[in-house]
Amino acid sequence: MRKFALIAVPYLWLLALFLVPFLIVLKISLSDIALAIPPYVPKWDWATGFGAFFSQLDFENYIFLTEDDLYWKAYLSSFKIAAISTMFTLLIGYPIAYGMARSPEEWRPTLMMLIILPFWTSFLIRVYAWMGILSQEGLLNQFLLWTGIIAAPLTILNTNTAVYIGIVYTYLPFMILPIYAALDRMDGSLIEAAEDLGCSRLMAFWLVTIPLSKNGIIAGSFLVFIPALGEFVIPSLLGGSGTLMIGKVLWEEFFSNRDWPVASAVAVILLLLLIIPIVLFQRNQQKQAEAEQ
């Protein structure tokens, strides 16, 4: 009984904070837009009961999503931006994690602290700081002009490049930490053994270090990819009119168009799309746990 109570806590938590809100959003996505508060019909009415309520729900909004190419283009573009950002995060994060794992023992807590330190400042402020760095008169352009590398300021802010920079910057710790954890666990004599058996340094890295940090790479990639796919703040602050991301579309649908049903449909589809990588991620974690037993 006590065991049951213990398990019930997280399930109740999930039920109250995930499943119930999801069902509300799902219901709105099946409703019709209306000039009212809240701006949709039908509303639950005790008098008419279930039959009348459900008969008014339909998939009209979902059909609409397939008719306007804005939506699938936004999904596709989000996917592309998330995938490319994840790749860059990996390319930058792996060497940092590797360097941390190879650094002297007494430095590691400090290095770890430096990775986590940015979280002490609000995420929004950090993104605003990037606006200051990347704008036409920003620090980066001033520096490049001063060194004479460029003659005219570059346009970085309000382009996809700025979005990539923002996402890579924001999610880098999520890539570094799981890779670092995997590399830190690795026995250093494995590399020596590989060299002893005829591997060059590079070969030993490719044949031993990479496979043994695979789980860290997969975990880090999902931790970056999943939130990046639905990212809203970074594209709306750093991106331009050409930056198409589903998070932004969703926001505009809700607040500019006040079309809650269509916005809800977009959100439901986004969630369904995210479930695929989340399930893959879970399976990876599970396999890892099994391998360690």
Partner 1 sequence: MDVPETEFAPWNDADEKPLIRFRNVTKRFGEFVAIDDLSLDIYEQEFFALLGPSGCGKTTMMRMLAGFENPSEGDIELAGQNIVPVPPNKRAVNMMFQSYALFPHLSVWDNIAFGLRRDRLPKAQVQARVEEMLKLTRLERFATRKPHQISGGQRQRVALARSLAKAPKLLLLDEPLGALDKKLRQETQFELMDIQEKTGTTFVIVTHDQEEAMTVASRVAVMDEGRLIQVSTPADLYEWPDNVYVADFIGDVNLIKGRTTASGDERYRIDWIDGQPPLNGVSKTVFSDGQTCHLAIRPEKITISTDKPVDADNAVQGKVLDIAYLGNLSTYHVELASGTVIKAQTSNTRRISRRSFTWEDPVWLSWTATAGVMLAQ
Q: Describe the chain by its helix, strand, coil percentages, rounded to 5.
A: 75, 0, 20
Q: Which listed residue (57, 212, 271, 274) binds partner 1 by CB under 8 A? A: 212
C-beta closer to partner 1: residue 66 or 189: 189
* Lookup: tokens for 207: 């044949």
Q: Is 187 in the site for partner 1 (CB under 8 A)?
A: yes
Q: Is 105 in the site for partner 1 (CB under 8 A)?
A: no
Interface stretch with partner 1, choices 39-47, 119-127, 151-159, 199-207 (CB under 8 A): 199-207
Q: Is 226 in the site for partner 1 (CB under 8 A)?
A: no
CA-to-CA separations, 124 to 26, 130, 161, 271, in angstroms, rounded: 29, 10, 18, 24
- CA dist 195 and 161 (Å) reads 41
Q: Which residue has the tokens 């001063």?
A: 146
Helices 108-116 and 160-185: crossing angle in degrees, nearest 10, is 150
Q: Is 184 in the site for partner 1 (CB under 8 A)?
A: no
Q: Is 154 in the site for partner 1 (CB under 8 A)?
A: no
Q: How far is CA 17 from the centre of its chain?
A: 20
Q: Is 211 in the site for partner 1 (CB under 8 A)?
A: yes
Q: Which listed residue (57, 145, 208, 271) binds partner 1 by CB under 8 A? A: 208
Residue of 100, 61, 84, 82 whose CA lies nearest to 250: 61
Interface stretch with partner 1, choices 42-50, 74-82, 119-127, 204-212 (CB under 8 A): 204-212
CB of 186: closest distance to partner 1 in angstroms? 9
Q: Is 199 in the site for partner 1 (CB under 8 A)?
A: yes
Q: Is 203 in the site for partner 1 (CB under 8 A)?
A: yes
* Lookup: tokens for 160: 């996809």
CA-to-CA separations, 235 to 14, 115, 132, 241, in angstroms, rounded: 29, 23, 15, 9
Interface stretch with partner 1, choices 92-100, 120-128, 193-201, 232-240 (CB under 8 A): 193-201
Contact set with partner 1 (CB under 8 A): 187, 189-190, 192-200, 203, 207-208, 211-212, 214, 291
